[in-house]
């Protein structure tokens, strides 16, 4: 059984608009899927408001506990964009102007007042590096904390620019199968199968579609051969309980 | 200026499927909007995997810091449904069978093995109460922690059943206006307006729609008169900067 060390990440979503329900976050799901391709598993996420004390506390708790922290939101030019300030405070360093970012910002001419506001986006914590962004000013990183935009399209480009640049372990693969059986019907047998595969996570997700109840079973782990063996056992169980296993796309 | 004490909540989303990106959470946004109607402001959220230590740690951190904690997920009949166990562990109490829930579960006949699995859903922490659920077994609460289903349709019914039963403060109202101005253009003036309204949160959200850049400005607070005054100032600012303020629906 392969035992590659797991590389973990936490996601920190910064923004009052997520906590008010005004904006539906989609960045967490995107980060989880894409980082898994890089061999990094998102194991925790937090959503905090645009309040410095809350952001700094979350940053320090998460960066101590996980290999990586990815933040989204709060890196624009307005007064409520305080992520850079908070990251600097969390690391106890000052903000400095990144000359490459400042140069990019200056290329688009603006009246002095507007330029001054846009220049806020050139501030990064001393000792930090840049995260490329083909759609605008770069994001940045310092140590294990990566600071990304909140706008999904921009955030996605930034994550794409990190492909191949982050230390990862083995990506988690999944196998899924669906049956029109209730969770109650499969619960005992499913628990028994789970006990035989300690390194695979077996999740059970009930649904109600086209007027029928059913359950989707999802196996996740890094060992493809073990996943296939477990999938066979789960399908066998479904047949023995009178159901019909339906394959889903595997990852 | 009204100064009703703020009533706050944290949301704890439990489930590997959210952290793997397989499922897009929509419960946080729903809870944020509905609880605000009840006078409760969601100010923090966490997503944790189906791991007892992680769930217990999050529960204890959040219930100490907020007036309410609402959890979603992990209350079904299968081996990965461990929320009730974790809540009991966090409070240091044992799980007991809730006779009203057991009675409901027994009403639908099942083979003994299936009934045994379904009976897991009747377990609640000693001292807890029930959260009504017209679609299946009730959720439960203990002290300030409310334990809800993960399936959105079921979760929503449970939250609806709590309407009028929770202690709330003044609901947060909002005013919104949009203009085709960049964040850079409005940043300085916006910061000045924010300084005049300490009790109102003024958020700035850039967008790119129909090939044009723009910014949505959202004011949130409990004082309707102050919100209206701030909205007037923001609209005036937009006009002075050469933009055209477009009203959005207010809440």
Q: Best mutation site among A73, A183, A230 for testing chain B: the one with the most B CBs within 10 Å?
A: A183
H and E: helices and strands count for chain A: 9, 12
Beta strands B212-221 and B201-209: pairing type?
A: antiparallel
How near does any CA of chain B get to the CA of A128, in Å?
24
Mean pLDDT calculated for residue range B196-201 = 94
| Chain segment B62-87, per-residue pLDDT in tens | 999 999 999 999 999 999 999 999 99
Q: Best mutation site among A6, A18, A19 for testing chain B: the one with the most B CBs within 10 Å?
A: A19
- ipTM for the complex? 0.94
The rounded percent of chain B whose pLDDT value lies above 70 is 97
With cut-offs at 50, 70 and 90, classify the pLDDT of residue A213.
Answer: confident
pLDDT of residue A211: 77
Mean pLDDT calculated for residue range B178-189 = 94
Q: Best mutation site among A6, A16, A21 for testing chain B: the one with the most B CBs within 10 Å?
A: A21
Mean pLDDT calculated for residue range A189-202 = 95
Six-digit token string for B231: 């909205």
Interface membership of B186 toward A (CB under 8 Å):
yes
| CB pair distance less than 8 Å for B191 and A118 | no
pLDDT of residue B212: 81
- Sequence-distant (6+) residues with CB within 8 A of A101 are A121, A122, A124, A130, A137, A138
With cut-offs at 50, 70 and 90, classify the pLDDT of residue B3.
Answer: low
Interface membership of B169 toward A (CB under 8 Å):
no
| Chain segment A3-21, per-residue pLDDT in tens | 567 999 999 999 999 999 9
| CB pair distance less than 8 Å for B29 and A21 | yes
With cut-offs at 50, 70 and 90, classify the pLDDT of residue B1.
Answer: very low
Interface membership of B104 toward A (CB under 8 Å):
no
Interhelix angle A183-196/A224-240, rounded to 10 degrees, is 140
Mean pLDDT calculated for residue range A46-68 = 98
Radius of gyration of chain A (CA): 22
- pLDDT above 70 (res B112): yes
Query: Taking a C-beta distance cutoff of 8 angstroms, is the pair A234, A176 a contact?
Result: no
- pLDDT above 80 (res B249): no
| CB pair distance less than 8 Å for A30 and B44 | no
With cut-offs at 50, 70 and 90, classify the pLDDT of residue B210.
Answer: confident
Q: Domain A173-247 has what CATH class?
A: alpha beta
The Cα–Cα gap between B141 and B127 comes to 9
pLDDT of residue B213: 82
Six-digit token string for A224: 């493809």
- pLDDT above 70 (res B251): no
Give the start-to-end residue ranges of the domains of chain A: 8-161, 173-247
- A218 interaction partners in chain B (CB closer than 8 Å): 17, 22
| CB pair distance less than 8 Å for A76 and B204 | yes
For chain B, the average pLDDT equals: 94
DSSP conformation class of A198: T
DSSP per residue, chain B: ---PPP-EEEEEEE-HHHHTTSS---HHHHHHHHHHHTT-EEEEEEEE-S-HHHHHHHHHHHHHHSSEEEEES--SSSTT--HHHHHHHHHT--EEE-HHHHHHHHHS---HHHHHHHHGGGEEETT-EEE--TTSS-EEEETTEEEE-SSHHHHHHHHHHTTTTS---PPPEEEEEEES--HHHHHHHHHHHHHH-TTSEEEEEEEEETTEEEEEEEEEES-HHHHHHHHHHHHHHHHHTT---EE----
| Chain segment B40-63, per-residue pLDDT in tens | 999 999 999 999 999 999 999 999
> Could you tell me which of B123, B230, B141, B47 has the C-alpha nearest to residue A46?
B47
DSSP per residue, A77-145: SSTT--HHHHHHHHHT--EEE-HHHHHHHHHS---HHHHHHHHGGGEEETT-EEE--TTSS-EEEETTE
pLDDT of residue A250: 52
With cut-offs at 50, 70 and 90, classify the pLDDT of residue B2.
Answer: very low
Q: Please classify residue B107 by burial: count the beta carbons closer than 10 Å to its beta carbon, then call 0-12 exposed, 13-18 middle and 19+ buried.
A: exposed
DSSP conformation class of A195: H
Mean pLDDT calculated for residue range A142-147 = 98
The Cα–Cα gap between A228 and A167 comes to 27
- Sequence-distant (6+) residues with CB within 8 A of A23 are A15, A17, B29, B205
pLDDT of residue B81: 95
Count Cβ atoms below 10 Å from residue B173 Cβ, excluding itself.
18
> Could you tell me which of B114, B75, B71, B78 has the C-alpha nearest to residue B95?
B75
Query: Taking a C-beta distance cutoff of 8 angstroms, is the pair B21, B55 a contact?
Result: no
* The dihedral formed by the CA atoms of A102, A107, A110 and A111, expressed in degrees to the nearest 10: 70
Q: Is the dihedral of CA B115, B118, B120, B126 positive or negative?
A: negative
Backbone angles phi, psi at A122, to 5 degrees: -90, -5
For chain A, the average pLDDT equals: 94
pLDDT of residue A1: 42
Q: Which residues face B139 on adjacent strands?
A: B131
pTM for this model (two decimals): 0.94
> Could you tell me which of B137, B126, B46 has the C-alpha nearest to residue B88?
B126
Six-digit token string for B210: 């129909």
Query: Taking a C-beta distance cutoff of 8 angstroms, is the pair A133, A119 a contact?
Result: no
A8-161 architecture in CATH? 3-Layer(aba) Sandwich (3.40)
Interface membership of A109 toward B (CB under 8 Å):
no
pLDDT of residue A165: 97
* 3-state SS class at A54: helix
Interface membership of B64 toward A (CB under 8 Å):
no
């Amino acid at each position: 059984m392969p035992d590659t060390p797991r590389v973990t990440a936490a996601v920190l979503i910064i923004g009052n608009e997520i906590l008010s329900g005004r904006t539906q976050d989609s960045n967490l799901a995107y980060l989880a899927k894409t980082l898994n391709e890089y061999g990094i598993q998102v194991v925790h996420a937090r959503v905090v408001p645009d309040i410095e004390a809350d952001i700094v506390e979350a940053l320090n708790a998460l960066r101590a506990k996980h290999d990586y922290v990815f933040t989204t939101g709060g890196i624009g030019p307005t007064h409520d964009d305080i992520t850079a300030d908070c990251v600097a405070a969390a690391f106890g360093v000052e903000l400095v102007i990144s000359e490459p970012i400042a140069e990019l910002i200056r290329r688009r001419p603006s009246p002095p007042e507007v330029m001054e506001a846009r220049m806020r986006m050139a501030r990064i914590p001393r000792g930090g590096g840049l995260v490329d962004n083909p759609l605008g000013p770069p994001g940045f990183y310092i140590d294990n904390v990566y600071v990304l935009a909140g706008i999904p399209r921009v955030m996605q480009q930034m994550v794409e620019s990190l492909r191949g640049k982050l230390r990862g372990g083995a990506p988690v693969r999944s196998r899924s199968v669906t049956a029109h059986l209730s969770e109650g019907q499969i619960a005992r047998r499913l628990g028994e199968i789970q006990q035989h595969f300690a390194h695979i996570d077996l999740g059970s997700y009930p649904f109600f579609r086209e007027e029928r109840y059913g359950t989707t079973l999802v196996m996740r782990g890094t060992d493809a051969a073990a996943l296939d063996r477990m999938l066979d056992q789960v399908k066998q169980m479904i047949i023995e309980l009178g159901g019909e296993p339906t394959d889903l796309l595997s990852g």
